[in-house]
Amino acid sequence: MIFAVLDPLRETMHTISYGLLAPTIIILLLLVAFMVVELGGLLVEILTERRKEKTNIPELLEAFQGKDVQGIIVEIDNSNLFRRQKAALHELLEHSDLPAVSLQALARRLLTNEELHYFKITNRTDVVARLGPMLGLMATLIPLGPGLIALGQGDTKTLADCLLTAFDATVTGLAAAAIAFAISRLRKRWYEEYLSSLEALMESLLEVFAGEPGITE
């Protein structure tokens, strides 16, 4: 009697779960394609920015001392700083005539903008690193139901197809997540170093032009 009442509910759950199989597989394939694009973006970043010789930040900070705005701009342009670092420092220098408090606020805003920019970049791969295993597990479990039914009926071909789909989904989800995790870790290490250098440079500029201790106080 109880099973008779539950039969419609089980049929509904089965229909819903099996209906999710195709969308889940499609999303998994899209995640893999997205990771290929991210790998390409990472390679471009390495070739265009990261291959540059690192700027000696202490030497550049010393070069700022005793120079006017134009002199500092020349030092920045001639350095191997990254493009976004130069752009942020240029914007700060363009407003060097502001009062000290306003200059500090501008420096904080520029630094926060850079943090948000790089958070958005790493957040994309962070999401894939979390979604990949979950979607892979979903696409693994869904075919196992029909596979078990096929096993009970002696249909080994259907069972083999279901198991193949399940294993492929697991591997695809884990592969996408592993690539995303590696990219996120690498970029976060780069961007933390980048933001630390940018903050030190802004601190130095504030001391030169505003005579204040820095942006973090």
Which contiguous run of DSSP H or E holds residue 80?
Answer: none
Residue 98: the pLDDT is: 81
User: Cα 93 vs. chain centroid, distance in angstroms?
Assistant: 30
Q: Where are the domains of the chain?
A: 2-209
96 phi/psi in degrees, rounded to 5: -65, -15
169, 177 Cβ separation under 8 angstroms: no
Distances (CA, A) of 134 to 25, 137, 149, 152, 164: 12, 5, 24, 28, 18
Distance separating alpha carbons of residues 86 and 88, to the nearest angstrom: 6
pLDDT by position in tens, the chain (length 217)? 555 666 777 778 778 888 888 999 999 999 999 999 999 999 988 888 766 657 777 888 888 777 788 888 888 888 888 888 889 999 988 888 888 888 889 999 999 999 999 999 999 999 999 999 999 999 998 888 888 888 888 888 888 988 999 999 999 999 999 999 999 999 999 999 889 989 988 888 888 775 544 444 4
3-state secondary structure (DSSP) of residue 95: coil
